[in-house]
Structure 1
């Protein structure tokens, strides 16, 4: 399954697994079945109104009013439930912004309007072709809205990012760690954890000396506690 890296507003890189075509089609069919059941309900209500009033305009107007939520189903559900419809909830997929910002109502509106092109014209062929030939599996509506559909089954933990878990009452030691860039911290974290697993003390010492040079500070801490503290301090200042 293709993966996608998204940078959040806190400059944290999150790894998402993109939702596949099969998952998206199945979610669409589930939503369609729900709308079909709703249409049957509207039909029964319309018949009831017909028994009460024989005026055709009254029956048509009442039925149209009841059908309005169904027509806007996708837009309403995505807006109210953080990028998910009932079908997407069941399949555990959702819509997110490609740039990591929160999805806005206007993004959902663009996706919804372009369903006419993606889904309803040519029996969904345009949307399917757009997804197939897109590196990020975006249909036309997604590309225009700047959104992607991701798999929500695998939770992304802090340990999967450049940040470290820190307690709420944590007290930072090195106040100047913010001069490090995200690239620096990612490299430090990856090298640190590999060296720890392999007990590579030489690499730990070289990494520690390099970090001390960048931060222009000295510490009495041993290599492992020093590097661990630097990572936690960075997480404290940039992730809070």
Structure 2
């Protein structure tokens, strides 16, 4: 698999793994199976409508209306769930912008429209070939939209990285933590871990003073919660692509 370095809107460099064509195909098949089940449901509803309405045009119109969400499934899922469909969620992959900026709905629309060429024309041969011969594993839709599909799987333990566990509802306290670099945060976390484990309050105080001299927060938090908050805030902002 290839790696991709993305510079976020907070000027933080993040490294991601570009997914293989196999993972993308599996995600597509999962979505296709979901749409198949939905189409079966629509057929059952269509039969029920036939008992209620005698007019054939009314029957066809209602069935077409019910089936409409399936036609826009991929587009709507990507827009609503931030670059993911059910298949992508299960495979832990996601569509992101190469330049690190948020993916706009127009980017998803471009990808969706070019599915006609990439996937449905020649039974997906064009999409497969463009992915295989692209350095960033992009199909035509990705290339046109400036997107790439990455893996969101965490391959290392959080305790071994600069990452901190952050709840979905977490609200950051220090918005200027992006002044720090990955190297800074890695050093802060390791020093904090060792000092906290050994109850080295002197080192905690020195570390807190050093960080505060950079961020100029003037926070009234005690040393431990202060440093924990800095680490959580940094992780929160780096996840906001």
TM-score where L is the length of structure 1: 0.69
User: What is aligned with 2:115?
Assistant: 115
Deviation digits for residues 23-64 of structure 1, max 9, x if unmatched?
Answer: 100000000000000000000000101111121100110011
User: What is aligned with 1:92?
Assistant: 92
C-alpha distance in 1 between matches for 2:23 and 2:39 = 24
- Whether the 8 Å CA contact 1:14–1:160 is kept in 2: the answer is no
C-alpha distance in 2 between matches for 1:103 and 1:8 = 12
When residues 231 and 151 of structure 1 are mapped into structure 2, their CA distance, relative to the original with a 3 A threshold, is farther
C-alpha distance in 2 between matches for 1:18 and 1:231 = 37
User: What is aligned with 1:151?
Assistant: 151
Q: Which has the larger radius of gyration?
A: 1
Alignment of 1:77 with 2:77, yes or no, is yes
User: What is aligned with 2:223?
Assistant: none
Deviation digits for residues 92-131 of structure 1, max 9, x if unmatched?
Answer: 1011111101111111100000000000000001101110
C-alpha distance in 2 between matches for 1:187 and 1:74 = 38
Deviation, structure 1 residue 229:
3.8
C-alpha distance in 2 between matches for 1:110 and 1:158 = 39
Structure 1 residues 25-104: aligned runs within 5 Å: 25-104=25-104
Deviation, structure 1 residue 188:
8.5
C-alpha distance in 1 between matches for 2:52 and 2:137 = 50
- Whether the 8 Å CA contact 2:8–2:101 is kept in 1: the answer is yes
**Among 214, 217, 233, which residue is 1:233 paired with?**
214
Q: Which runs of 5+ in 1 are unaligned?
A: 173-177, 197-224
When residues 110 and 160 of structure 1 are mapped into structure 2, their CA distance, relative to the original with a 3 A threshold, is farther
Cα RMSD (Å) of the superposition?
A: 3.5
Q: Which runs of 4+ in 1 moved over 2 A?
A: 155-161, 185-190, 228-234
